[in-house]
Structure 1
Amino acid sequence: SRSVKGLESRFESILLAYSVLLSRARRRFEGTLRYSLGY
């Protein structure tokens, strides 16, 4: 069960980093889209 717990914490950290990267990329994409549309 100890290895499962370590795997869970690793998965949580990966998920957190992925969500942060996703939100940052989405914000950059929206900014680029807004700039290309001329807003």
Structure 2
Amino acid sequence: MTLLFAVIHLPNFGVAGTVFIAVWGFLPAILRLRYENLTGRC
């Protein structure tokens, strides 16, 4: 879903903006999966 969201913004932000959106979108997903919350604390 994060990649799809980023690709949808490709026409507006270009390739660099799309990569930024994708990377920034993966951060909360990784935190949620690893710690079961978005704070990064156990």
Q: Which structure has the higher relative contact order (CA within 8 Å, separation 6+)?
A: 2
Q: How many residues align?
A: 24
Normalization by structure 2: what TM-score? 0.49
For structure 2, the 5+ residue unaligned runs are 1-12, 37-42
Fraction of identical pairs, as percent:
12
Normalization by structure 1: what TM-score? 0.52
Highest Rg: 1 or 2?
Answer: 1
Aligned-residue RMSD, C-alpha = 1.4
Q: Which runs of 4+ in 1 moved over 3 A?
A: none
For structure 1, the 5+ residue unaligned runs are 29-39
